[in-house]
Amino acid sequence: MNALLKGEKKVNTIQVGILGYGLSGSVFHAPLLAVLDDYHISKVMTSRTEEVKRDFPDAEVVHELEEMTNDPAIELVIVTTPSGLHYEHALACIQAGKHVVIEKPMTATAEEGEKLKKAADERGVLLSVYHNRRWDNDFLTIKKLIDDGSLQDINTYQVSYDRYKPEVQAKWREKEGAATGTLYDLGSHIIDQALHLFGMPKAVTAKVMAQREHAETVDYFHLTMTYGKLQAILYGGSIAPANGPRYQIHGQQSSFIKYGIDGQEDALRAGKKPEDDSWGADDPESYGQLTTVHGENKKTETIPSVNGSYLTYYRKIADSIREGAPLPVTAEEGIDVIRIIEAAVKSSEEKRTISLEQ
């Protein structure tokens, strides 16, 4: 058990405040911080006092934002409140001189994101967005295949993010409002991945809609990011009883097909923590298949997945704060995701392709 879990504090430990202790704060952030000696969770703003005290007995539970921003000991604030509140909460923390990590999606609009970036630059604090699925085992495997030349001259990059939730739930993500719906929620993950690989596209064409009865916000999206010959096709829905391939990537002489989804989310939801080298390992039955063509010869091989590691994000954040290392996800990268979302919504509403070329 590490020093932090024993109640001790590493010298130069980063004192952390968390805004919100719902699914995001309690599952995707706190368990990672708990196993890294670089951090100590000092305060949590939430109404879920009992849950915080169960998980972090020495953390102080507060109910007002000012109790976080006015605390000089808090160095880093993690914003996990509903997406429509990200701008307001992050700005207050930045203005108070705190480094900030914002849960994705960064903001409801790119304009809000740009204002946050400007404020952070002026205040001299770090601002990053938690696009943790850059560290999924499947995506890390794809990056490795591209880097080692196994996937070259890509013409089609297709990703699905389907779920089976046919009934509309009484949760803020499924209510009408700023930055709600699956395009902002799930879509932001796979948009960020595509941008991370290929940069900003030339154009976006999209269909964004509600498919479920009584849906109040978007629960289906299908967008194509055009890079010239390369087409990045990203889609996701809420009524998928069975899933096809998650990734289908085709190049001039090779294809990579991958089923299944990284298991770190399920493990975190089950109360597990990344405490050994087995964390993020893929099920061998879900390993991807790489098919390569050389002349008349065609070969298909199974590619063991690289282990996923959401911990890497927070290790890099610590290095950024203490050593001045580059951020794992920059504010500008978070803003670019929102730019694509805005273009997709506009494309769907106006039934046309939206050019992003200057």
- Model confidence pLDDT, tens digit, residues 126-142: 999 999 999 999 999 99
The answer, yes or no, to whether residue 168 has pLDDT greater than 90, is: no
Contact indicator for 306, 137 with CB cutoff of 8 Å:
yes
Provide the pLDDT for residue 264: 97
**Is residue 318 domain-resident?**
no
Higher pLDDT, 347 or 167: 347
Contact indicator for 161, 222 with CB cutoff of 8 Å:
no
Distance CA 189, CA 197 (A): 13
| Region of residue 156 (left: phi > 0; alpha: psi -120 to 50; beta: else) | beta
Provide the pLDDT for residue 2: 39
| Region of residue 177 (left: phi > 0; alpha: psi -120 to 50; beta: else) | left
Q: Which helix (H) or strand (E) holds 169?
A: none
Provide the pLDDT for residue 10: 54
- Model confidence pLDDT, tens digit, residues 223-240: 999 999 999 999 999 999
Residue-number span of the structural domain to which 65 is assigned? 14-130
Question: Would you place residue 11 in the very low, low, confident or very high pLDDT band (cuts 50, 70, 90)?
Answer: low
Residue ending a domain, among 130, 165, 182, is 130
Query: Both tokens of residue 209?
Result: 């809609």
Together in a domain, 183 and 160 = yes
CA distances from 94 to 122, 147, 251, 280, 352 (A): 10, 36, 43, 33, 38
The answer, yes or no, to whether residue 65 has pLDDT greater than 60, is: yes
**Mean pLDDT of the region 60-87:** 97
Together in a domain, 80 and 199 = no
**Is residue 104 domain-resident?**
yes
Domain count, the chain: 2
Q: Which residues contact 202 (CB under 8 A, 6 or more apart)?
A: 226, 227, 228, 355, 356, 357
- Could you tell me where the DSSP H helices lie in 240-310? 264-269
The answer, yes or no, to whether residue 5 has pLDDT greater than 50, is: no
Provide the pLDDT for residue 173: 83
| Cut 0.75: pTM above it | yes
What is the number of other CB atoms lying within 10 angstroms of the CB of residue 108? 21
CA distances from 49 to 57, 59, 61, 75, 79 (A): 10, 10, 6, 22, 17
Q: In this structure, what CATH number is given to the domain that contains residue 142?
A: 3.30.360.10
Higher pLDDT, 223 or 12: 223
The answer, yes or no, to whether residue 97 has pLDDT greater than 50, is: yes
Q: In this structure, what CATH number is given to the domain that contains residue 65?
A: 3.40.50.720
Q: What's the chain's average pLDDT?
A: 94
Provide the pLDDT for residue 315: 97
**Mean pLDDT of the region 35-56:** 96
**Mean pLDDT of the region 22-42:** 96
Distance CA 312, CA 298 (A): 36
